[in-house]
Structure 1
């Protein structure tokens, strides 16, 4: 974790001073004027320090054999930033791709940092007159469908939090909120007791850019919260001044992002789930609600706290059964060749196989008569708290709830 950011107090951090003065002032502008989160400001700060190191090496200001991470990012003035050309930017993007192995999304984020920095120097503080990044567009992104758990896998994860955890009430509650509300990790960790209103069945969340939104709770969330909060509030040694909802078992203080990730990863491993991160639980909630909850894209946008509906549209992908159903519903899907043409093309008899016309009496070789059945169920029901008591039939029903 960064030496600058404090996970338990995400709004606080050490001063960002290990960079050129223009970069330090820009990061302060991001937080104070632009209202960006400490985490966003920190990411931009790291990106610009990386660019500083690259340009020092490119301009021959450090020995050629100097380790990249050991290059001092300080010592660059406004005149230096004014000397940067479009070719320098392109070389940096090439460096990120070829030498650093950055994905397109990471490269685009780093270019966005440069765009923001030069916009600040040119338009906000008027220190430069030209922006070398103005005409440079980010690399075209690959269209990758979000990875998510199926409803059955989600049930397995919930079971795992109750059987493999040393604080099952807390861990189960966190997973229930992730899967039913689509919270971000930072939103869950940053929740305070005053943000929860069980009587009105809602939670106030503070998302990216300090944007506030209300998330409503279904039965599964209410039950999980009641169970956990009773356990939390009766813990010996807990300070009455502690306002964090989710706390550590030993220190009894706000749990960190990293600790939540460790707990979720452990529960997933115990459930036999591989290749999923904590953020994938947010993808899971969004996907299952869209597919089984009759939720339109604008409602999903509001629920997830997206700034643009374009971000939400990644959840409109179709499942395999929906694609199969669409193909089966094609009116031309039932059109068969005329008998003569079929006979001339049918080689199954010569190959020693049995054609549909020569099939033994009583054997049904007919095509499926209709599309595959879609999910049934409503998203608002949620996962039930007492999983151990579910029958096989109830488990099947719950697999459609998020």
Structure 2
């Protein structure tokens, strides 16, 4: 069996059957490439169908000696397991040599969060007399009120806002859509931004449906959101190093601390596994809305 042919088939499987994003596919293929390099370095070159469990364990020792941290090793092992699962499913192999391969134990680091007081200070520090003031205030309210990733925020579409029923739809990782309840504060400022400010902007062709625009009428970059938040932190004297993701962590933490169901938070964050949510489900949408209204400080 040829590595490059197997790699090409694996790439198609990830794109078509698993519907992964381009970045995710590249990450998987990059991890597989490390195994290929290891296989080619052996005196008797290994092929995908001649690799055995002892070879894979030797490979893990090899990447460990390269100085890779446990989390990177665990990600590579996950990619290798996915590769052999594909070969097995595609009937190119009749056994999986990675089945008993164990990932290194990871210490789980709790993400930084902000208190409600800190968030209020950051929002209050936004200068509403400036043209971008209302937009930036609305962005923070939506980041915190819905727990969005920064990419989901900058690509948010007007056609995916259902403000009359207090929901928004976002396109998350792997192009997966999810509905998220939005509290009254988020609804209030979205309406103000859209109806009172954005309508006066000149909008570039192709950007008509994008919620948040810069002064040139184009969607904002992820970098702008990072810089804007960093500037607010400096302005308020906040000592923590924060980013857009800090608001997402704060969203989840404040809901869970307030008594929200873990599965509901998992659904709203778009986590595939509830274990990801546990470091701080398909439920009916009225229940999710009730969780936000009952437990989120902005409601």
Query: What is the rounded CA distance, in whole Å, between the counterparts of 2:101 and 2:133 in structure 1?
Result: 50
CA offset at residue 142 of structure 1?
1.2
How far, CA to CA, are the matches of 1:193 and 1:240 in structure 2? 13
Matched, 1:123 2:89: yes
For CA contacts below 8 A with separation 6 or more, give which structure has more relative contact order: 2
Report how far residue 236 of structure 1 moved: 2.2
Tell me which of 18, 21, 26 is aligned to 1:34.
18
Q: 1:276 to 1:240 in 2, by over 3 A?
A: closer
Q: 1:195 to 1:52 in 2, by over 3 A?
A: same
Name the CA distance, whole Å, in 1 between partners of 2:146 and 2:208: 24
Partner of 1:46: 30
* Structure 2 counterpart of 1:84, from 37, 48, 51: 51
> Does the alignment pair 1:283 with 2:249?
yes
CA contact (8 A) 2:147 2:252 kept: yes
Q: Considering fraction of residues, name the structure with more helix.
A: 2
Residue equivalent to 1:268: 233
Give the drift of 1:201.
1.8
- State the 1:302 CA deviation: 2.5
Q: 1:55 to 1:257 in 2, by over 3 A?
A: farther
Shift of 1:111: 0.7
Equivalents in 1 of 2:297, 2:100: separation in Å? 50
Give the Å deviation of 1:143: 3.1
Point out 4+ residue stretches in structure 1 off by more than 6 angstroms: 163-166
Q: How far apart, in 1, do the equivalents of 2:56 and 2:163 lie?
A: 52
Q: Secondary structure at the match of 1:30?
A: helix
Match of residue 245 from structure 1: 211
- SS of 1:280 mapped into structure 2: helix
Residue 183 of structure 1 corresponds to: 148
127-136 or 261-270: bigger deviation: 261-270
Contact (CA 8 Å) 1:82, 1:130: kept in 2 or not?
no
Runs of 5+ unmatched residues, structure 2: 281-292
Number of aligned residue pairs: 283
Instruction: Determine which of 198, 201, 223 is the counterpart of 1:232.
Output: 198
**Alignment CA distance shift 1:42-1:242 (3 Å):** farther
Q: Which residue of 2 aligns with 1:22?
A: 6
Whole-Å Cα distance in 2 between the matches of residues 311 and 51 of structure 1? 27
Structure number with larger C-alpha Rg: 1
Cα offset for 1:30? 0.9
Aligned in 2, Cα 1:83/1:175: closer, same or farther, shift over 3 Å?
A: same
**TM norm structure 1:** 0.62
> What is the match of residue 78 of structure 2?
112
Alignment gaps of 5+ in structure 1: 1-18, 62-75, 316-376, 383-400
CA spacing shift, 1:290–1:88, aligned 2, 3 Å: same
Report the equivalent of 2:122.
157
1:305 paired with 2:281, answer no
Offset, 1:221: 0.3
CA RMSD of aligned residues (A): 3.0
Alpha-carbon distance in structure 1 between the residues aligned to 2:60 and 2:248:
30
Counterpart pick for 1:173 among 138, 150, 160: 138
Distance in 1, Cα, partners of 2:138 & 2:202: 20
Cα distance in structure 2, aligned partners of 1:43 and 1:164: 44
